[in-house]
Amino acid sequence: MISAIGNHLWQSTVFAAAVAVLTIALRHQQARVRYALWLAASLKFLVPFSLLIAVGGEWHWAPAARRLAPPVVASTMIDVSTPFVQEVRGDAAAPSPLIA
């Protein structure tokens, strides 16, 4: 638990430093822009990234592409990659010649 708190503190400190730099860079913008930046920094101190990652890890969303049929390109690549002639083993009977 101590390491989780330490990670949260250093991540929040780096985030607050980035917001401070952005606030200085945007000093000629409206006050609401700078307010929104500092509000985001304050919320970062309240909600750690590890909590968001843990909550996000509980939800298992299947991408839409997996629910659909496999793409044509993939099945075509499988067809192209199969060999034309199968290997003949030594113990297999030789094919009989056709007599016309």
- 16: pLDDT strictly greater than 80: yes
Distance of alpha carbon 1 from alpha carbon 22, whole angstroms:
31
* Angle 64-67-69 from CA coordinates, rounded to 5°: 115
- 36: pLDDT strictly greater than 60: yes
What is the predicted pLDDT for the residue at 77? 63
Q: DSSP letter for 10, please.
A: H
* Angle 32-25-29 from CA coordinates, rounded to 5°: 30
State the amino acid at position 55 in one-letter form: V
- 91: pLDDT strictly greater than 70: no
Q: How many residues does the chain have?
A: 100
The residue with tokens 């200085």 is: 24
Residues ≥6 apart with Cβ < 8 Å to 50 = 4, 7, 8
